Amino acid sequence: MDDTEIHKKVEQILFTREEIENRIFQLAKWVNTTYKNSENLLMLSVLKGSIPFLSQLIKDVKVDHAIDFMTVSSWHGKTKSSGQIKIVMDLDSDIKNKDVLIVEDIIDSGKTLQKIIDILKNRQPNSIKIITLINKKIAAKRFIEPDMYGFKINDFFIVGYGLDFEEKLRNLPYIGIFKTEK
Ligand code: IMP
Ligand code: MG
């Protein structure tokens, strides 16, 4: 399948590979400016959805930094959030006195991130900020807002560029609206 061919489970492409990569380049510039005086930047990627975003982003991040990973589960293979959050795999590094930049694929209600931040704050980092590729506009209460985001979308269920439906479709080079079965 090439980039222009649309997957049968995708209703419509929202952002092409080129649009995503151009936007991530700008986000990297934001990271460079925001952390230009930071001695201890840690980019914390929330697995698994943020992997393609993180790997594209750090190509243009010029500030010295380390990366680390955390896995939480908040989504149980359905297209609706369960509201239950569990730490499946914790960070490897000590974040004390570090500038932590949480790298997320998408913020929906923000419940997942709120929980992650509560845990991280107890570990006395110097600062915590959030960058997310996608920021969903939802009608319901938002628990948290990102410091920076790539794209704002309406409340659709989307897949691709790391975002999955039942663990699949993360590999799509674009972001599209998932075709929900009738
Ligand atoms: P929140 O706690 O409601 O913000 O949910 C955040 C998590 O749910 C994200 O990190 C994703 O893993 C997942 N998620 C939310 N919306 C979508 C979507 O449209 N497509 C795929 N996964 C989603
Ligand atoms: Mg996620």
Tens digit of each residue's pLDDT (9 = 90 or more) over 24-62: 999 999 999 999 999 999 999 999 999 999 999 999 999
Instruction: Identify the band that residue 3 occupies on the pLDDT scale cut at 50, 70 and 90.
Output: low
pLDDT at residue 72 is higher than 90: no
* DSSP secondary structure code for residue 114 in this structure: H
Nearest ligand to residue 47 Cα: 2
pLDDT at 21: 98
Q: How far is CA 102 from CA 47, 70, 76, 99, in A?
A: 11, 10, 22, 10
pLDDT at 140: 82
Measure 182 CA to ligand 2 centroid, in angstroms: 26
Q: Which atom of ligand 1 is nearest to the CA of 157?
A: 19
Q: Is 81 touching ligand 1 by the criterion CB < 6 Å?
A: yes
Nearest CA to ligand 1 atom 10: 106
> 60 with 25: CB under 8 angstroms?
yes
Measure 47 CA to ligand 2 centroid, in angstroms: 6
Q: Is 108 touching ligand 1 by the criterion CB < 6 Å?
A: yes
- The residues, any chain, with a CB within 8 Å of residue 112's CB and separated by 6 or more, are 46, 72, 74, 85
Q: How far is CA 126 from CA 29, 31, 41, 42, 98, in A?
A: 21, 16, 10, 11, 5
Give the separation between CA 63 and CA 60, rounded to whole angstroms.
9
pLDDT at 142: 84
pLDDT at 81: 56
Q: Is 146 touching ligand 1 by the criterion CB < 6 Å?
A: no
Nearest CA to ligand 1 atom 20: 158
Q: What percent of the chain has pLDDT over 70?
A: 91
Provide the annotated active-site residues: 108
Measure 36 CA to ligand 1 centroid, in angstroms: 30
